[in-house]
A = this chain, B = another copy of it.
Amino acid sequence: MSEARIWHGGDLDEARRLFPQAPEPWIDLSTGINPIAYPVPPLPASLFARLPSPADHRDLEAAAAEAYGAESTATVVAAPGTQVLISLLPHLRAPSRVAILGPTYAEHAHSWRKAGHDVAEIPSLNRLDHADVLVVVNPNNPDGRLLKREALLHLAKNFRLRGGWLVVDEAFADFDAGESLMPVLPSNAIILRSFGKTYGLAGLRIGFAVAPEPITIKLRSALGPWAVSGPAIEAGRKALRDRQWLDSAREARTADARRLDALLMHVAEAPLQGTILYRLLESPRAGELFRALGDRGIWVRRFQDRPHLLRFGLPCTDAEWKRLEAVLDSFS
């Protein structure tokens, strides 16, 4: 792909290139994906063979509307992952001034820029100037910063007056939806929700945009029918309706996040930040720790222009916890 490369989590090929001597199997802590996946239901051959039916596609959107507390199914657009929605949105609007509250997930700025918009990463909401589009990730990736719903509603109102959009990427809101804009969707807001992170099924590719009708019509038009695969529709709608699984996953991952904090605490310079699915470590020794972990086959997320930060996803098995603990112990 002839594009500027962005660093992403999840690419173990990159890990193996950087640390060719590291022991296998690699422990991948570089993503914010739940390491304990929702159990994929049996997938009959017909789900692979046949085109997904329009009724099943709509039922996936209905399941998402229920799970997220959206006002109506009509506001929900299912897509093969949130990324394609992030990539598409900038193509659905004439060149605009786009403000992105950062630092945050880099694909937002990248996508708006590639589509020809004038993009500024702003460090604070006091610096909105004359933007036509505001993008916020809430809670934020990687630092977990959470904007209040009231503040978002106020912003949406300001942008509405100038014909602008408010894009709220709620990729990590499933486990803590207290400030979600979902139940009070403003008429110029686009909310993004990821399925794969919470449910540990990122390979299936499911994501949602929730927005009022003029925007959903454009998105459905750009995606066309059948954009989501049959297996994804089947697993997705079952998972989204399983409230019990979500509740127990929340509890278990919260405990994991606390356990991870306890391990990282003595390396950290400042209190750990993040969400239940990832923790952000700030330390002048971050680069050194990145190499120590890499040498031992543990891949964490570093940041191109912020070398003092490392983001840790949650280990999965006891063996993974022990290997991580061993590196951290020997590091201090």
Contacts and interface: CB of A to CB of B under 8 A. Distances in A.
Given A33-B49, A111-B221, A227 B84 contact: yes
A22 interface: no
A81 B49 CA distance: 13
A203 B80 contact: no
A226 interface: yes
Contact of A114 (B86, B221, B227): B221
A187 to B, nearest CB: 16
Report how many copies the assembly holds.
2
A37 B54 contact: no
Given A203-B230, A227-B83, A229-B80, A3 B220 contact: yes
A51 B10 contact: yes
Contacts of A203: 46-52, 229-231
Contacts of A92: 91
Nearest to A107: B224
A94 to B, nearest CB: 11
Contacts of A185: none
A319 interface: no
A225 B111 CA distance: 11
Given A205-B226, A205-B229, A229-B205, A48 B37 contact: yes
A2 interface: yes
A110 to B, nearest CB: 9
Given A83-B226, A111-B224, A230-B204, A37 B49 contact: yes
A221 B53 contact: no
Interface in A176-203: 196, 200-203
A45 B50 CA distance: 22
Interface string A5-24: 00011111100000000000
B217 A53 contact: no
A98 interface: no
Interface in A236-285: none
A128 interface: no
B54 A202 contact: no
Contacts of A52: 203
A205 B228 contact: yes
Contacts of A40: 45, 48
A55 interface: yes
B115 A221 contact: yes
Given A81-B227, A229-B80, A232-B229, A88 B222 contact: yes
A223 interface: yes
A161 interface: no
Given A83-B224, A83-B227, 4 more contacts: A1-B58, A80-B227, A86-B224, A203-B230
Nearest 6 interchain pairs by C-beta: A203-B230, A87-B224, A80-B80, A83-B224, A205-B229, A10-B51
10 contacts: A1-B58, A31-B51, A33-B49, A37-B45, A37-B48, A50-B202, A81-B227, A83-B225, A203-B229, A204-B230
